[in-house]
Amino acid sequence: MKITNIVATCLYSPEINENASDSAQDTVIVEIHTDEGITGIGEVDAPPSVIKSYIDMPSSHDISMSVKKVVVGENPLDIERIWKKLYFRTMMAGRRGIGVNVIGAIDMALWDLAGKHYGEPVWRLLGGSQKEYALPYASLPTLQDPDDVQEKLLKRQVSFARSRGFKAMKFEELVNSRDRDIESVSLARETAGKDMDLMLDAYYCWPDFRTASIAIRDLEKFKPYFVETPLQVDDMEGLSKLSRTSNVRIASGELLTTAHEFVDLIDRGGVDIAQPDIGRVGGLSEARRIADYAGLRGVQVIPHCWKTGISISASLHFCLATSNCPYFEFLVKELAPSYLRLKLLKREPEPIDGKIQPPKLPGLGIELNYDVVEECKR
Ligand SMILES: [Mg+2]
């Protein structure tokens, strides 16, 4: 079997609010075609038109090669060979950032393709499921409303996720304002109940270690499962001090690319939970390397994902196959404001009573709705 083409398609929801904290408003899907008629589908959470340009660009020289030239003609089942070859032959502009995001989307598509070829779900190709079912945590969309409706909306979201059987949920309303943050987390905990694992996303709201440390101490009593991105992404020193001194698990990593950056986050940043975004970090292959390394260091891996059902399915397969992955981020369709999250897939693994059983369908187990692709293509 040989790869014949890679096609990147940029999709945009009918309405885009560029100030919203919602990266599922657009996407780029990457399809890998073969001479045997099997197609693999991947996706990445990065600016769609930049990813498409990067995939379509011509070669410049031997380590600034055209992605298509590197990949077309390869056997798509040689996933690791293609990863390494791409990384090396594009390293002048790639190596981190967008170049690795592109490798991630291609890698995701290759795992989907391999599953379809072998007639097996991706989790099995990754070494088999480590658990009876995977636990998605409901990631609640940010509320951008005035204070008076905040309480009502927050209660409605938390209650909805609870009613769907989710065992955990994440809440992203911290704003670095002591009283308000204590009040909203208290309300979330009260509505969620004692048994729920409640995650908090600080979304980089604290300017430095000391501010974050004082704020987290105030929130400790609500027993958060973790506090995500408390400090700036590259503040390894601050993360390290926070992880050493805090009684709450510290999580970070959503924006990082490659296992190299996670080695730094784990060793120097000392985090308790590594949060690779499967597409962005370099695909399932790279996320697995991170999970293995994290496992050796006693660190949990809980993948970040704020995208369509393609990336969510990739996170699910990763979670099933990874023993140190207790949860994965899950954007609940009924709560998500994203048209693409709601409509892009005709079929995807769905939670029942807050759990997802290992899917039996080959590959990622998804089917695109090409009417929506046509509608949102630009
Ligand atoms: Mg986040």
DSSP string covering 248-262? SEEEE-TT--HHHHH
Its pTM stands at: 0.97
From the CA of 310, how far away is ligand 1's center (Å)? Answer: 19
From the CA of 202, how far away is ligand 1's center (Å)? Answer: 8
From the CA of 145, how far away is ligand 1's center (Å)? Answer: 19
Torsion angle of the four alpha carbons 179, 182, 183, 188, in this order, in degrees rounded to the nearest 10: 160
Return the percentage of the chain with pLDDT > 70, whole number: 98
| Residue 363 maps to a domain | yes
Choose the final residue of a domain: 120, 137, 166.
Answer: 120
- 66-110, pLDDT tens digit by residue? 999 999 999 999 999 999 999 999 999 999 999 999 999 999 999
From the CA of 336, how far away is ligand 1's center (Å)? Answer: 15
Choose the final residue of a domain: 70, 90, 120.
Answer: 120
Q: What's the token pair of residue 104?
A: 């991630």
Q: C-alpha distances in angstroms, 10 versus 28, 46, 187, 345? A: 4, 11, 39, 15
Q: Which of 205, 255, 210 lies closest to 231 in space, CA to CA?
A: 205
From the CA of 222, how far away is ligand 1's center (Å)? Answer: 19
From the CA of 366, how far away is ligand 1's center (Å)? Answer: 25
Q: Are residues 116 and 202 in the same domain?
A: no
Q: Are residues 148 and 107 in the same domain?
A: no
Residues 308 and 278 sit within 8 Å (Cβ to Cβ): no
Counted domains in the chain: 2
Q: Are residues 49 and 135 in the same domain?
A: no
Rg of the chain over Cα atoms, rounded to whole angstroms, equals 20
From the CA of 172, how far away is ligand 1's center (Å)? Answer: 8
- 190-220, pLDDT tens digit by residue? 999 999 999 999 999 999 999 999 999 999 9
pLDDT in tens, the chain (378 residues): 999 999 999 999 998 888 888 899 999 999 999 999 999 999 999 999 999 999 999 999 999 999 999 999 999 999 999 999 999 999 999 999 999 999 999 999 999 999 999 999 999 999 999 999 999 999 998 876 656 567 777 888 899 999 999 999 998 889 999 999 999 899 999 999 999 999 999 999 999 999 999 999 999 999 999 999 999 999 999 999 999 999 999 999 999 999 999 999 999 999 999 999 999 999 999 999 999 999 999 999 999 999 999 999 999 999 999 999 999 999 999 998 899 999 999 999 999 999 999 999 999 999 999 999 999 999
From the CA of 225, how far away is ligand 1's center (Å)? Answer: 14
What is the CATH number for 80?
A: 3.30.390.10
Q: Give the position of tokens 């990593």.
A: 253
| Residue 374 maps to a domain | no
Q: Which domain holds residue 148?
A: 125-369
| Residue 11 maps to a domain | yes
Q: Are residues 104 and 167 in the same domain?
A: no
From the CA of 46, how far away is ligand 1's center (Å)? Answer: 14
